[in-house]
Amino acid sequence: MRRPVLLLLILALLTNSNVSAKDTSKRRIPCKTPTNTNSCYWTHGRLRMGNGTPAFRLWKTGTRRILGIYSGPSVDRWGLDNESPEFPANVQRGLLNLADKVSWNTIWADFEVCPLESEKAGAMQPACIESAKNIFVEKDN
């Protein structure tokens, strides 16, 4: 009797701690829409919280480009969306540092992003994150 219970407990812990790339929960605010679907693309990068607006930024690895993350499909520079955008569920689970409710983790992943405005030299480009896979969570201290 102890072994099946122990196995179920271990399985439950592993399932809850795994950051899954396949999450079918619906977003409240759509990122990918019929008007921006063609501009969405996959990129590898680092997502973390920064100081300023917007609060979350995605560095596209191997470039000098930084994307400012919003919920989408439009940019609200003055509302709360710039401080707390909606993320895919698997990214949200990885970002929040549960041990310290004040800090955020850093996420390395392959992100599907949808630009919300055209790219401008020397400026952070607004974008939203539609999905992510191959997620690695770097715990911030």
What radius of gyration do the chain's Cα atoms show? 17
pTM of the model: 0.75
Q: Using DSSP bridges, classify how beta strands 66-69 and 125-138 pair: parallel, antiparallel or unpaired.
A: parallel
The answer to whether residue 5 scores a pLDDT higher than 50 is no
pLDDT at 101: 58
Average pLDDT (47-67) is 91
Cα–Cα distance, 25 to 23 (Å, whole number): 6
Cα–Cα distance, 126 to 124 (Å, whole number): 6
Top pLDDT among 35 and 42 is at: 42
The answer to whether residue 13 scores a pLDDT higher than 90 is no
What is the distance of C-alpha 15 from the center of its chain?
20
The answer to whether residue 9 scores a pLDDT higher than 50 is no
Average pLDDT (31-50) is 92
The answer to whether residue 22 scores a pLDDT higher than 60 is no
Which one, of 105, 104, 115, 103, lies nearest residue 65 by Cα?
115
What is the distance of C-alpha 138 from the center of its chain?
13
The answer to whether residue 57 scores a pLDDT higher than 90 is yes
Q: Note the pLDDT tens digit of each residue in 74-132.
A: 777 666 667 788 899 999 888 876 555 566 789 999 999 999 999 999 999 999 999 99
Question: How many C-beta neighbours within 10 Å does residue 23 have?
Answer: 14
